[in-house]
Amino acid sequence: MTLIKLAKFEREQATCNSERRRAGVIQHFANSVVKFSRSQAKLNSEVVQQLDTIHEYLEMMISVNHAFTDRSNALQHVQSLSADLFFLHTRAGRLESVSSRGIGQEWTRYQKIEGLKETISTREGVKNQALREYESIKVNCQNCEVILFFWKTYGA
């Protein structure tokens, strides 16, 4: 704005053509600077708007990543419990199929089998709870997938 005022002052005070031309050049330069400044401010506001959109997207991606990590961990927990149950069932089956030679051995084997059955029952309850939790997390992840799809398709 100072350049515009200077150009106006020089134009008013000009006594010859060269001073008027110089005042015109200064006026033109000042107008260009003002236009550039305004376009720069507009561009900055557009960049801020785009960065806000990107920031929202990245925040959502962090949430989606955590959801899928939770899903993976829950699935791994269910698979681990299933493997443990398989091992316990196999061990119980072996104990049931083995013949014992004496009454003391029979009683010990019976106690081991009963202990394994209790452990199996407890582990199956834990596995069922883990499966319900996994299904819940899976539904949550499907919701995340839907939200992510709409975000990618339609934007913010």
* pLDDT tens profile 108-144: 888 888 999 999 999 999 999 999 999 988 888 777 7
In this prediction the pTM is 0.61
CB atoms within 10 A of CB 58: 9
What pLDDT was estimated at residue 137? 86
Supply the range of the domain harboring residue 16: 2-154
Task: Determine the Cα–Cα distance for residues 56 and 64; give it in Å rounded to an integer.
Answer: 12
Domain count, the chain: 1
Task: Determine the Cα–Cα distance for residues 150 and 110; give it in Å rounded to an integer.
Answer: 59
Q: In the chain, which residues have pLDDT < 70?
A: 1, 3, 6-8, 14-15, 100-102, 150-151, 154-156
Nearest to 120 by CA among 92, 95, 98: 92
